[in-house]
Homo-oligomer: A and B are copies of this chain.
Amino acid sequence: MVSVAEASSIVFGHLSRHSVKTVPFQEAVNCVLAENILADRDFPPFNRVAMDGIAIRFEAWAMGRLTFLIEGLQPAGVPQKTLEDGANCFEVMTGAVLPINTDTVIRYEDLDIKNGTASITTDSIIKGQNIHSQGKDAPLGSVLLEPGTLLLPAEVALLAAVGKHKVQIFDFPAAAIVASGDELVDVEAAPELHQIRRSNTYAIQAAMKMLGWEGTVFHLMDDKDKMITDLKRIAESFKVIILSGGVSKGKFDFVPAVLEQIGITKLFHTVNQRPGKPFWFGVSKGGITVFALPGNPVSTYMCFYRYIKPWLLKSAGVRSDHLEAVLAKDFAFSGALTYFLQVMVRVDNGKLMAYPDPGGGSGDFANLKNVTGFLELPANRNNFIAGETFSYIPFRTI
């Protein structure tokens, strides 16, 4: 048996080498960037008018001029014009190029415009005001985004701005999600009393989908020979295999033996944690990674968010912050295991407060709808005091 820290270090020590694919930039939202994105021009690319109004030479105003003849108009989207007479002004629109020979913009709110003449009605003007200077945000050639960046809408806007209409993202490895257990039936089936419908595989598939990771669902019966044949075939097509069930001490828990038999080397089996103690992890020489999770739904869920999701994202170079939340109520746990406590986290006055709601054990997946994540309570302690902070693994955003 390994500790949670050891299990983490083994899993995160065997990261995937994701391949790369090119997609239209609009499809890249929520994907992980696999290339550097450079500024293809200065940002902004020209001295950009930032308010509707007039552009003047600051010097003219500083010398006492308050009224300016409007010499011309510089709309957005029109090539740069030139102010011919430094005592005049140009009417300018937000987004326009600042006309040559002007250096300061006065907004309409501070003007009185009549008969082609603008009079300034404010006495506070700063040279260069209301101009978004060329290159101020990012100079030509600078790195705007790096590999490992999660592409959210702000990043998509940058891709658009630099003309990156096709972009390289990480292509997460094809994954099989395999349930085992004779008691499991199809979602569309009417189960007999002793049967239940498969749900774990769909929870994992949904969690993967939210990461832009595609998973294909399989179901194996508790038949060792058949399992060998089926898992062999699955291992031919998938680089990642996530199993749920069949890894504990039961008479029909064939998964660990079968995995070793088809060439997956065990790196650990059983972790000093609750739920999820029977968790098995291994890799093959051919580069297949296998997470064999216990079949209790809360165990499956916890292991996915604690180990598999960070494994996937770390493999893509995504930096993610370590999260902590404050235990809102005393909690006692008898056992020398790391305990992943189900908690409902609410933000109270800027603090992540974690309210314990342990539910009815690792089979009670109905309770997961009431909580937002797991608080990781360290092994070898039994009493956890309100106000202490612990690592927090969210599966809902706050």
Contact = CB atoms under 8 A, between A and B. Distances in A.
Interface in A251-269: 251-253
B250 A78 contact: no
A196 B44 contact: yes
Contacts of A237: none
Given A75-B252, A347-B321, A97 B29 contact: no
Given A157-B199, A202-B156, A44 B363 contact: yes
A369 interface: yes
Given A77-B222, A326-B350, A347-B324, A156 B206 contact: yes
A112 B191 CA distance: 35
A351 interface: yes
A141 interface: no
Nearest to A50: B363
Contacts of A197: 160-163
A61 B366 CA distance: 33
A211 B91 CA distance: 41
Interface string A127-150: 000001000111000001100010
A94 interface: yes
Main secondary structure of the interface of A (DSSP, over half): loop
B209 A29 contact: yes
Q: How many copies does the complex hold?
A: 2
A16 interface: no
Interface in A365-398: 365-369, 389, 395-398
A296 B350 contact: no
Contacts of A365: 137, 154, 157-158, 161
A181 interface: yes
Interface string A6-45: 0000000000000000000110011000000000010111
Interface stretch (A182-190, A281-289, A310-318): A182-190
A192 interface: yes
Interface string A57-95: 000000000000000010111111000000000010111
A202 B26 CA distance: 7
A295 B95 contact: yes
A388 to B, nearest CB: 9
A213 interface: no
A142 B381 CA distance: 37
Contact of A25 (B96, B153, B187, B250): B187
Contacts of A154: 203, 301, 365, 368-369, 395
Interface string A299-342: 00100000000000000000001011110000000000000000
Interface string A194-222: 11111110111111011000000000001
A230 interface: no
Given A76-B252, A77-B182, A366 B93 contact: no
A165 B193 contact: no
A70 B200 CA distance: 32
A250 B209 CA distance: 44
Nearest to A76: B183
Contacts of A238: none
Given A163-B190, A252-B76, A350-B352, A363 B321 contact: no
Nearest first, the 8 closest Cβ-Cβ pairs linking A and B are A77-B182, A77-B183, A154-B368, A157-B203, A326-B350, A153-B206, A160-B199, A29-B206
Given A132-B361, A351-B352, 11 more contacts: A25-B202, A26-B205, A29-B206, A75-B182, A76-B222, A95-B295, A108-B249, A153-B203, A154-B395, A157-B202, A325-B350
19 contacts: A26-B202, A44-B363, A45-B191, A50-B363, A95-B245, A137-B363, A137-B367, A144-B366, A151-B206, A156-B202, A157-B199, A157-B202, A157-B365, A157-B368, A160-B199, A163-B197, A321-B347, A350-B353, A398-B398
